[in-house]
Amino acid sequence: MTHRRPLLAAGILMGAGMGGFVDGIVFHQILQWHNMLSGVLPPTNLVDAKINMVWDGLFHAAVWLMTFAGLWMLVRASGRSSMPWSPRLFWGAWFMGWGLFNFLEGGINHLILGIHHVNEYAPNPLAYDLVFQASGVALVLLGWLVRPSPTAAEAGRRG
């Protein structure tokens, strides 16, 4: 009997970590559209900017740990004879993890708590938040389509 869960869990964690890194690198650093607390503490002076930078660093540390945990799980799973390697299962889980990150982080931080928006400086920040939410749903659906059917994975077929 084959076990899909270790590879699924590793892919989901690594995908969620990647989603966090893309968010932090693209939106926090390159575009500078927001920081972790910019909706609550706008970085309009040096002290507030430094506080936001610390929280951005904590965010990056958390997604690094998530990615590392996924990699650790992947290495552990690779030693199991009951879990044949399936690139489609891993990449499907990876996309689903990234999508779950976007959907959950966006839903909690952007829409519910309002600690920041995707683009704090846009005339309509909610529009950016909703596109971010939609990207999460699209990535989960992509992952669902990429992953092999349970019967193919259980039969040990390579996908």
Domain ranges of the chain: 5-154
Q: Are 35 and 116 in contact (CB under 8 A)?
A: yes
129 vs 135: CA distance, rounded Å: 10
CA separation, residue 157 to residues 70, 76, 79, 113, 150 (Å): 23, 20, 18, 44, 10
Does an H or E element contain 61, and which? helix 46-78
How confident is the model over 21-46, as pLDDT tens digits? Answer: 999 999 999 999 999 999 999 999 99
Task: Give Cβ neighbours of residue 158 (< 8 Å, ≥ 6 apart).
Answer: 84, 85, 86, 87
pLDDT band, residue 1 (cuts 50/70/90): very low
pLDDT at 2: 58
Q: Which amino acid is at 159?
A: G
The pair of three-digit structure tokens given for residue 153, joined into one six-digit string = 């994975």
Residue 159 pLDDT > 70: no
Q: Are 142 and 15 in contact (CB under 8 A)?
A: no
109 vs 94: CA distance, rounded Å: 22
93 vs 111: CA distance, rounded Å: 25
In the chain, the percentage of residues whose pLDDT exceeds 70 is 92
Residue among 136, 66, 145 nearest 99 (CA): 136
Q: What is the mean pLDDT of the segment spanning 131-148?
A: 96
How confident is the model over 51-87, as pLDDT tens digits? Answer: 999 999 999 999 999 999 999 999 998 877 777 788 9
pLDDT at 155: 52
* DSSP, res 149: P
Burial class (CB in 10 A: 0-12, 13-18, 19+), 117: buried
